[in-house]
Amino acid sequence: MSENWIDLEKKYHLQIYGRLPVVLVEGRGMEVYDINGKKYLDFLAGIGVNNVGHCHPKVVEAIKKQAETLIHTSNIYYTIPQIKLAKKLVELSGLDRAFFCNSGAEANEGAIKFARKYVSKVLGRDGGEIISMYNAFHGRTLTTLAATPKPKYQEGFYPLPEGFKYVPFNDIEALKEAITNKTSAIMIEPVQGEGGIHIADRDYLKAVRDLCDDKNIILIFDEVQCGMGRTGRMFAFEHYKVEPDILTLAKALGGGVPIGAVLLKEEIAKALSYGDHGTTFGGNPLACSAALASVEVIEELIKDNRVIEKGKYFIRKLENLMERYNFIKDVRGLGLMIGAELEFNGADIVKKMLEKGFLINCTSDTVLRFLPPLIVEKEHIDALIDALDNVLAEIKE
């Protein structure tokens, strides 16, 4: 039965995704089911989207209730769910204003625009240069591609927008050398996701914050993947006690419904006037209602360091495998954002784990990425580790 749907997709859909041969039709909590009734434990969570699990009852109820009331109005009018969500995120983050859009790429594009506008209008400094990090991933629009220094994503889409330069992650001296009088903002993922689960050093982020303060440069944290409870705190920057000027969110914000957000300080917000930016769908009542429910669930899930402890348990289990299989080069992570780096391409392991009933993926070719819903329990982790152990044993032979 799944073959029929796959054949139709190949005939009608743009062929830009390297999909696995599974048609998923239902999800509950940690579990998803394909069209043939096979069950999978989801350790990818829609690439870090389903942090509260699949079809969480509170999120489903919020969507149902809002869908029966008001789905869309545009931003010409006020809507209550949007106002409530803005208040919630501002209070949680310590920043001052919220703007809503539809995706992480849109959030990052908005952050770049806002930073440039502030530096130009308020500081009177032209140039608009943005510095981002090697191994970063900020999106697939032309502008966010320009902020993503990966040739495999950029090739064929030239010319990209100008005004971007790149430095090594966690290298403060390289960053200092890259700054010019045209630099408007520094853009960083506190934990690089697509780049292979690389974690910012505590001293590094503090030094970047000090540098931005000294040079009047905007600090943007891209928490599209590492935010919303993924690291065990609502926002990854809370681990570092370093506050950004602009914060971008998406993925898990809506509990599975597309929504992105830019949070920013009041000083930057004041540089923006009516008509400087906008969106038709961004922050519509349906998406904001889903997001409000999702945020409330995440608040409960991260209480008492539960996610942090589960992440430590998961990492220990992977480190035990690393002791047995010398082709695992490294295990690293924060909370439930975890990577295991291999000496070779991990695509075949992903496929074999799929056959055993587990959804994972491989990023940067060699890093097995684990992003389970925050509701994951130790027995789920143990089951995955056992399956992965069996797959790795076959390779060792």
The residues annotated as belonging to the active site are: 137, 222, 251
Q: Residues 254-290, buried b or exposed e (16+ Cβ, 10 A)? A: bbbbbbbbbbbbeebbebbeeeebebebbbbbbbbbb
| 105 contacts 139 by C-beta, under 8 angstroms | yes
CA atoms of 26 and 342, how far apart (whole Å): 32
DSSP secondary structure of 192-224: ETTTTSEE--HHHHHHHHHHHHHHT-EEEEE-T
User: H helices within the chain, ranges in order?
Assistant: 2-12, 45-48, 57-67, 80-93, 104-121, 142-146, 151-154, 172-178, 202-215, 266-269, 285-301, 306-324, 347-355, 378-396
> Strand, coil or helix: what is 96?
coil
Q: Tokens for 13? A: 């859909």
| 88 contacts 249 by C-beta, under 8 angstroms | no
